Amino acid sequence: MTPHFSLLSWAWRFVRPLVPVFLKALSEKGQNVKKLNPTRALLVGAAALSFTAASASAANVGGDLYRNNINERRIAELHPPLRPKVRAIIKDLEGHKDQDGNPLKPIILEAWRSPTRQRQLLKRRVTTVTWGFHCAVTPTGKPDALAADIVSFPQFWDAPRPFWMKLAACADAHNLGTGARWFGKKKTSARDLANFNKALANRNWNYQGRVGWDLPHVQANGVSIAQARAGKRPVFK
């Protein structure tokens, strides 16, 4: 084993447990990063540096393995019939290439979300509802999420437009809803949605028109938030 590989391996073993802290911060769209104390900020920074060291072979292999592990853990928090659909979206995205010809690396930042966390995000204006599809649970109180937030590694929320367009197309292909269509109630919303749908139908990955406000979000169709909260679950095709 070369000294370079050995050093990277040692560093990865040290920092790897900190990566979930970094991912948790990112899943709140950076809202909590500003509130971190200096020590925790340093830990988050160390995790970020380690997790983005994909240029070295050792870190690249470890990063992919860890990304896959994160995805499977998040998928396990989903409503069982939804799991294969989200897993298929991940696989489909991995079959696409970025602008440099490299396979996309989708990662699920969040699936199940506690009601407490949902309320915190509402206060930070990251969400618009007090209880959402992320918060669904089984009758016994176990995670049964009906939504997942998927971003691109290593850009996360700053992924280029083609990634978000491809994510929306994959959601459509598996009969799931996408936050890329959430335009709110602005006067131009209907026109913006029509333009977005046209671009998606034409596979215009570089579309530069307006897109919905929650690009990473994919969710089950067929039930309302109120119905999901009451325990109703959609029938998946």
Structural domain includes residue 236: no
Q: Which CATH number goes with the domain that contains 33?
A: 3.30.1380.10
Q: How many structural domains compose the chain?
A: 1
Predicted pLDDT at 231: 96
CA–CA separation, 107 and 48 (whole Å): 15
Percent share of the chain, pLDDT over 70: 73
Q: Compute the average pLDDT of residues 115-124.
A: 92
| 8 Å CB contact between 52 and 64 | no
202, part of any domain: yes
pLDDT tens digits, 225-234: 999 999 999 9
Across the chain, mean pLDDT equals 82
pLDDT at 179: 96
Q: Is residue 235 part of a domain?
A: no
Q: What pLDDT digit, counting tens, does each position of 64-86 carry?
A: 888 999 999 999 999 999 999 99
- Kindly state whether residue 237 falls inside one of the protein's structural domains: no
- Evaluate whether residue 132 is within a structural domain: yes
C-alpha radius of gyration, the chain, whole number:
18
Whether residue 124 is contained in a domain is answered as yes
Q: Is residue 234 part of a domain?
A: no
| pLDDT tens by residue, 47-61 | 444 444 444 344 444
| Nearest by Cα to 193 from 171, 175, 168, 174 | 168
**Position 157 in a domain:** yes
Task: State which residues form the domain around 171.
Answer: 3-229
Q: How many helices (H) and strands (E) does the chain have?
A: 9, 4
Vertex 171 angle, CA 167 and 173, to 5°: 115
